[in-house]
Amino acid sequence: MTPLYKQIAQELDALREQGQYRQLPNITARNGKYIVINGKQLLNLSSNDYLGLGDDKAMLAEYMQQFRDMDYAMTSSSSRLLTGNHPLYEELENALAALYGRDAALVFNSGYHANIGMLPALSGRHDLVLSDKLNHASIIDGMKIAEAPWQRYRHRDYDHLEELLAGAANRYRQIFIVTESVFSMDGDLADLARLVALKEKYGAFLIVDEAHGVGVFGARGLGLCEITNTVQKIDIITGTFGKALASTGAYAVMNALVKEYLVNTMRSIIFTTALPPIVLGWSLRTLARQRAMQHDREMLLQHAAQLRRELMVRGFDVPGASHIVPVITGSNESALALATKLRDAGFLCMPVRPPTVPEKSARIRISLRSILDWNDTARIPGLVRG
């Protein structure tokens, strides 16, 4: 065995001992509320399909008929800057810009592509990036790729952020503030109004990732920026099609000048094959459909609030104020044990462990969807307690 293979084997053994070893699940079927893993049907509480659009078979059948009639290719076969820029890209980006009331929008292959590409394109060694400590790994990776120095402020601690802004004033060409709106592992919410106030006070450039807010918050499903009336005040708002919008890819709305610059400098746009037309057309359909799902959004958030209350009454640490309901267990072993217990009772609630979350804050993450109601999850608080 070569030294590299030996080291790999040792590190895998260490992950097993620490309760952090991961395996790809054998998913054999998905049907509405349920998912089948290794032959066992479970209530699916680990999906990001927050509005249930991914399981809307009637909408899919209608779209597939339209797709056949339009005779679209199954692949773009090229990057957007060569021959892959299908007309549906422009249609989708125009629809996004109009929905947000912004100058322009840009569609990416994934949220990861967006987050590893924007900061490296926009920032340089004379700039500074300030990031919430619990931002998603894709944002962190984007900061690591960029040439700009970066610091993380304590999670949702905007006094700490202001200290960093004040200390950096007049020392950099541009200061960037980056945050999620709904934090994916805690389900808690950024204070976008405070962030906008800080951006304006210090002349910062604010980027807000609405990956877990789009489709869930706001009368039109635009996310937390809609209900806080900050849509026009945030420099770049990113969203994903891969969660509530039940498609593939991501997007950002922004100033037209910024879009032009990103098209010319953002490596994760320039050097990747474009999305296939079938995906772009489906994204247009789900984007339009979710606009009329305000009742579904309300029911989803009411369900989450009820489940959170019932868990907290039983003494569990359940942070957040969204459709993501984490139950903090602390150790990796306890998170794995609780996930197994819930699976045995018919619930799929995946354990989340470091490095995805901070050390000693392992948890199960209950991800609710609008197609579920209290009758589906009422047994969970009793199972968690017992």
Q: What is the pLDDT of residues 331-340, one digit of tens each?
A: 999 999 999 9
Q: Are 284 and 141 part of one and the same domain?
A: yes
In the chain, how many domains are there?
2
89 and 280 Cβ atoms separated by less than 8 Å: yes
* pLDDT tens per residue across span 131-170: 999 999 999 999 999 999 999 999 999 999 999 999 999 9
Q: Within a domain: residue 65?
A: no
What are the DSSP calls for 251-276, one per residue?
Answer: EEEE-HHHHHHHHHH-HHHHTSBPPP
Q: Which range of residues forms the domain containing residue 363?
A: 3-51+294-385
Q: Where are the alpha helices (DSSP H) in the chain?
A: 3-17, 57-70, 87-100, 111-122, 137-145, 158-168, 192-202, 224-227, 256-265, 267-270, 277-290, 294-313, 332-344, 374-377, 380-385
Q: Are 328 and 298 part of one and the same domain?
A: yes
Q: 3-state SS of the chain: helix, strand, coil percent to 5?
A: 45, 20, 40
Q: Are 43 and 167 part of one and the same domain?
A: no
* pLDDT tens per residue across span 35-66: 999 889 999 999 999 999 998 999 999 998 88
Q: Are 156 and 268 part of one and the same domain?
A: yes
Whole-number average pLDDT of the chain:
95
Query: Domain of 24: which CATH number?
Result: 3.90.1150.10
Cut 0.85: pTM above it: yes
* pLDDT tens per residue across span 232-272: 999 999 999 999 999 999 999 999 999 999 999 999 999 99
Q: How confident is the model at residue 72 (pLDDT cuts 50, 70, 90)?
A: confident
Q: Please give the Cα distance from 281 to 273 (Å, whole number).
A: 17
Q: Please give the Cα distance from 169 to 130 (Å, whole number).
A: 13
